[in-house]
Amino acid sequence: MIVVPSRATVDQYNQLKQQIDEAVGRINGKYNTLRWTPIHYFYRALPFHTLAAVYYMADVALVTPFRDGMNLIAKEYIASKTDQTGVLILSEMAGAAKELIEAVQVNPDDIHDIVRALHKALTMPQQEQIARNAAMQQTLKRYNVTRWSEVFMTRLQEAHQATDKIKRKRFSEEILAEIVNAYNESDKRLFLLDYDGTLVDFQDDPQKVSPDEYLVNLLRKLSDQPENNVVVISGRDKDTLERWLGHLNIGIVAEHGVWSREPGDEWVQADFIDQEWKAELKPILEFFVDRTPGSFIEVKDFSLVWHYRKADQGLAEVRKHELIDTLAQYTSSMRLQILEGNKVIEVKNAGINKGHASVRWIEKVGKGCFALAAGDDFTDEDIFKALAPYPNIFTLKVGTNLTAAKYNLSSNRDVLRTLHVLSEQQRVTSNYQSA
């Protein structure tokens, strides 16, 4: 059974069709005997009972879409196998691949993988075929249309409730006014600002988002006020942050807290860092890069990062879960943690996170200070959680995901606008300072 790749254009499709027609003609011409035709080629729809009979007869079904949602061919093949023999080879990109885990799964982009799978299928002992198909038939029976619709309705309800929750936390003019008030009433203030996705928008190339003049001026204006402590707290490496922001009078935290630097000071490294795990895990990430075109590895001082923003998103989603599963086996024994960021998976030493770095800053500026923290991804949740017990805190999450932050902002422009409004406030010129 051949399934035409769904991303083919009409021309490619016609060309492929012609190639298949010719190949079938060539093979049948060469190997046909009076009693046997090697390839039965049906380029038309078959009535369902005929189709079921063909499924039943087929020793192997090869279903290799690059992407699809619900693959009925794979399911129908398994359901038709009343004697439970036969082998299903299924693309790992098929929606059904997550349910039919006993199928021989292949990467549809890798022709050698498909050849290996065909060989495995043709030499598979009957006992194993029966065991695999019996398990898949059980799955299909259990996950019938009633069950499917129940799950769907429950998920829909959950999504609705989640949206409701986010709506209640949505950033508004009233909240901005509240922040401005708290800001004006405090003479000790702390800003903890994530960089990517929070102060700047995302780009395909992570090196291309250096701060523009507007952002530099905004940070300068905020940090010029002696009451303010501005800290950029990022997952990025320290050299990049130094190059972009080092000239400003702000604190910088790099690699989620591995490195930090007070305004105008030297970089200080967090203690206790073991690095040997990097050499051990890098080949695993490289293996995933080989199998996920467009993804790449970034080696930071104390972490390894797999970037998949430029990869095909369908494939990357599949690979991401595989990678997390694979890494989880190592990280539990190696005191490492896996962070899932925005189109990145990062592995780093446990115990270092933005939350710890935030707490150090807030203790330094003083409990009860006005603090505003903004971030957009999973790693920023550590900040939001760590700050929650402190008073006078405003935590802002860019994006509409569920979050530990107090408020959800629809885009990073809301962060910039809030910072702009605060930077325009008059200085606290209270008399007691001179008294």
Determine, following the binding rule CB under 5 A, whether residue 399 of this chain makes contact with Mg ion.
no
State how far the Cα of 256 lies from the Cα of 409, in Å rounded to an integer: 22
Q: Which one-letter DSSP state was computed for residue 92?
A: T
Q: Judged by CB, which is closer to Mg ion: 275, or 411?
A: 411
Catalytic residue from among 21, 187, 194, 274:
194
Using the contact rule CB under 5 A, the part of the chain among 45-53, 193-201, 282-290, 403-411 near Mg ion is 193-201
**Residues 168-187 contacting Mg ion, CB under 5 A:** none
In terms of phi and psi (left: phi > 0; alpha: psi -120 to 50; beta: otherwise), the region of 3 is beta
Q: Is 120 exposed, middle or buried (0-12, 13-18, 19+ CB in 10 A)?
A: middle
Determine, following the binding rule CB under 5 A, whether residue 196 of this chain makes contact with Mg ion.
yes
Tell me if residue 10 falls in helix, strand or coil: helix
Please, what is the minimum distance in Å from the beta carbon of residue 331 to Mg ion? 22
Determine, following the binding rule CB under 5 A, whether residue 194 of this chain makes contact with Mg ion.
yes
Determine, following the binding rule CB under 5 A, whether residue 382 of this chain makes contact with Mg ion.
no
> What is the sign of the dihedral through the CA atoms of 136, 141, 142 and 147?
positive
Structure tokens at 86: 């036969």
- Cβ neighbours, 10 Å, residue 185: 10
Q: Judged by CB, which is closer to Mg ion: 223, or 234?
A: 234
Q: Judged by CB, which is closer to Mg ion: 90, or 374?
A: 374
State how far the Cα of 396 lies from the Cα of 409, in Å rounded to an integer: 7
State how far the Cα of 40 lies from the Cα of 27, in Å rounded to an integer: 11
Please, what is the minimum distance in Å from the beta carbon of residue 196 to Mg ion? 4
Determine, following the binding rule CB under 5 A, whether residue 312 of this chain makes contact with Mg ion.
no
CB 90 within 8 A of CB 318: no
Alpha-carbon separation of residue 157 from 147, 150, 152, 401, 402 (angstroms):
15, 11, 9, 16, 15
Tell me if residue 229 falls in helix, strand or coil: strand
CA nearest neighbour of 236 among 208, 255, 214: 255
Q: Judged by CB, which is closer to Mg ion: 285, or 398?
A: 398
**Residues 94-123 contacting Mg ion, CB under 5 A:** none
Is 194 in the active site? yes
* Closest-approach residue to Mg ion (CB): 197
Q: Judged by CB, which is closer to Mg ion: 188, or 385?
A: 385
- Cβ neighbours, 10 Å, residue 131: 13
Please, what is the minimum distance in Å from the beta carbon of residue 351 to Mg ion? 21
Using the contact rule CB under 5 A, the part of the chain among 10-18, 191-199, 213-221, 277-285 near Mg ion is 191-199
Please, what is the minimum distance in Å from the beta carbon of residue 375 to Mg ion? 6
Using the contact rule CB under 5 A, the part of the chain among 19-27, 77-85, 189-197, 415-423 near Mg ion is 189-197
For residue 71, which amino acid is it? N
Tell me how many residues contact Mg ion (CB under 5 A): 5
Site string for Mg ion, 351-380 (x = CB under 5 A): -------------------------xx---
Q: Judged by CB, which is closer to Mg ion: 74, or 258?
A: 258
For residue 351, which amino acid is it? G
Q: What residues are labeled active site? A: 194
| Interaction site with Mg ion (CB under 5 A) | 194, 196-197, 376-377
